[in-house]
Amino acid sequence: VTEAARRVLEATGVTFHWDVAYVGSQAQEMYGTPLPDHVLESIQKNKVALKGPVTTPVGSGFRSVNVALRQKLNLYASLRPCKTYPGVPSPYQNIDLIVVRENIEDLYSGIEFELGAPETLRLIELVEDARGERIRQDAGISLKIISQTCSARIVRFAFEYARRNHRKKVTAVHKANILKFSDGVFLATARTIARDYPDIEFEDMIVDNLSMQLVKKPHQYDVLVTPNLYGDIISDLCAGLVGGLGMAPGANMGDDVAIFEPVHGSAPKYARQNKVNPIAMMLSGVMMLRHLGEVENADRLEKAIAKVIVEGKNLTYDMKPEAPRDQVVGTSEVADAVIEKLEKSNKS
């Protein structure tokens, strides 16, 4: 899928100088680590990266290469557009919403205490001494951390994105009715930041109610800003509204570095089989072009992808679930079809 995205990006006529690097299982075999230092140095130097799905090798010492990249490069904002395109199998039409997910804190901060470890037992004792509340000694513990600093940063990012892209509403997602001292910080901070943007409507919603409302009336939402865990779950729900993860592009962004990648994870068993859907990866490339200021070429590429989808001839098996095998194509054929549309637009 990464090669397919690279081919269509080059077909726009934009000149790229690629610095190809490997992370994950392949890097583990080549360099003895799934995240070599030279990869981080390259991203920091170039300020932008197009990243394919990555498998973190078991037993490598990394919980997740993706999480490590976000934390080491301070990519605090995950930007995940969810948009329907005519021709995509979906019960919904005309959906166009954005999930802005805080990327560093919450339960993904990685501060965990293993069941039975001495430090876990000390923490259990501390909680009982400080709060008078008992935690079972056979428990594993993860800390949910939500700070004013990171909450303000992600909420401001969401409002600035909304303003730049002529969006009308920002919805803060939380569970502050129960988690008063973590999600409560996120909600209170969001309400404070919202006062700086009187031109944009603001509301807040409890995450379970939002999940129901997204299924019933998804068109009432525009930009959703969320803590880390809820954003991970909600963005997959929203992907389901618009046809699945094969249609879900994304970006992880900091103040001066951005990595563009699809929302879906890796599927090693399908690697190099020319089978899986590259559209989410291509749409991540569209996002990258816009980030680089290549707005016209981004629009041309998105239109070319949309034309291929609506024609329905050159799509992978997940986009044509009822079609016989001889009526679906592979990854590279989808790219070929998009490139053909781009070449026609070049001539016109």
Residues noted as catalytic: 108, 175, 208, 232
Instruction: Return phi, psi of residue 260, to 5°.
Output: -110, 130
Distance CA 73, CA 43 (A): 9
Closest to 10 measured CA to CA, from 290, 274, 289, 293: 289
- Bridge-partner residues for 72, per DSSP? none
Distance CA 27, CA 100 (A): 30
Radius of gyration in angstroms for the set of CA atoms belonging to the chain, rounded to a whole number: 21
Question: Amino acid identity, residue 186?
Answer: F
Distance CA 280, CA 301 (A): 13
Sorted by sequence, the CB contacts under 8 Å of residue 79 that are 6+ apart come out as 98, 99, 100, 161, 250, 251, 252, 253, 287
- What is each CA distance from 346 to 13, 25, 61, 301, in whole angstroms? 9, 39, 48, 11
Long-range contacts of 298-307 (CB under 8 A, 24+ apart): 300/12, 300/342, 300/345, 301/8, 301/9, 301/12, 301/338, 301/342, 303/341, 303/345, 304/8, 304/338, 304/339, 304/341, 304/342, 304/345, 305/8, 305/85, 305/279, 305/338, 305/341, 306/85, 306/86, 307/341
Helix (H, G, I), strand (E, B) or coil at 112: strand
Instruction: Give yes or no for a contact between 52 and 2, defined as CB atoms under 8 angstroms apart.
Output: yes
Distance CA 176, CA 182 (A): 7
